[in-house]
Amino acid sequence: MSEAVSPDLLPLTAQDGPDGLSVGGVSLVELGRRFGTPLFVYDEEHLRRRCREAVAAFGPGLVAYASKAFLCTAMARLAHEEGLLLDVASGGELRVALNAGVPGDRIVLHGNNKDDGELLAAVRAGVRHVVVDNFDEMDRIERLATVHGLAPVPVVLRVAPGVAAGGHQAIRTGGTDSKFGFGLATGAAAAAVRRARSSGAMALEGVHAHVGSQVLDAGRLADGAATIARFAVESGVAGLTVGGGLGVAYEGGERVPSFAEWATGVRTAVRDAGWTGPFVVEPGRSVTARAGLTLYRVGTIKHIEGVRTYVGVDGGMSDNIRPALYGGRYEAFLPRAPFADRPLRARLVGKHCESGDILVDDAALPADLAVSDLLATPVTGAYGYAMASNYNKLPRPAVVFVRDGGARLVVRRETEDDLLRLDVPGPGERPGAAGVAQVTARRLTTA
């Protein structure tokens, strides 16, 4: 590959100009200077358009944003403003959604191992429903209802339909061998329906299935939807959720179904299965991935004669674990010359103490790449910041939304002081930087 990066991988408002690539009317080069690197940049207009496209395809009130793909207060508020429900999978995600002003009845709680605190917080927030994953969770709900005098909790039962799809084994969730849901083939799903109906602690509202993530064949999503729809009809439940999982293009030339194609396929599949009512979908990656990109600063270029070239940047697996975890593939370009030919082949790596700290294994880059260049990886708006870590004690990057020529910081960059914030001082030690200096000095004098 020596051609330029495909425009289909860039945010919708991306434009080339005298200062290189701009997104939302703001130069990426300027964003790198102003906010530092690594930096997540999101095209707010792109995010809003994708939300609207999903609602147009499936209908108002029938799209729940799978917030695990990317969540902060600003993103939760944006999704709510555009008419999406919020799908959260932990007490922490619930807290962020509520902090954004999302009403409880616009939130659904997922998760395969919810604890007492998460369930109580959801009930007290008045969530739309709890997606119950297993019989132990039913036990928990019934016990909490008795102890706390709760009204019947609205529940939807997650079913493992025996249909698994997705770009990697680790993100295929709908098979019989899955940690998620009541197995359809084993009879557990039917038993769960009977138990929920007979329980005074639960109000059964429907069934749910999700077959996997990063699915590029809309037919596989339709297959999963048909299976859960048949079960919904047989069970006589009132509600149906068919999950998310629609994939995105990470490299040039990949073909991805639109929301409209996904909707048409699923709608036909559930109707053929006998389901005549509405159904809910849960897109995540397909809303946010292409809207975001990551900016890095090149710190080193290492040529090994007869072997390869390594290009090291100031981030890595702490801000994008997908290549190491799932074999995720990306491209890279220089914002100063976004559509330049890229004849240089190099392994793009981060700064962590791991040989597996690889962002792009065989990156195509411009021949004039230099140390201190700003470099970008596109399509990092899903599962980048969401899965970021402090490995090697790197502070997590900042997140910026850009729109109409303006940039707003929505998540500040962590500092080294933040890295010490949770440490508990020992006897006689003071917390914070001063305490570190005190402890270090004492240890040096006693060594």
Residues designated catalytic: 353
Burial letters 69-81, b for 16+ CB under 10 A, else e: bbbbbbbbbbbbe
CA distance 54 to 246: 11
CA distance 237 to 275: 10
Contact, 221 vs 163, CB < 8 A? no
- As beta bridge partners, residue 109 has 88, 130
DSSP-derived secondary structure letter, 379: S
For 231-235, the CB contacts below 8 A with 24+ separation are 231/159, 231/161, 231/184, 231/189, 231/207, 232/206, 232/207, 232/275, 233/273, 233/274, 233/275, 235/190, 235/193, 235/207
Q: Residue 404 is which amino acid?
A: D
Cβ burial of 2 (10 Å; 0-12, 13-18, 19+) is: exposed
| Angle, CA 129 vertex, CA 93 and CA 212 arms, to 5° | 65
Contact, 279 vs 62, CB < 8 A? yes
Helices marked H in 236-378 — which ranges? 259-272, 285-288, 322-326
Contact, 225 vs 262, CB < 8 A? no
CA distance 70 to 410: 12
Strands, sheet with 20-23, edge to edge from the N-terminal-most edge strand: 15-17, 20-23, 26-27
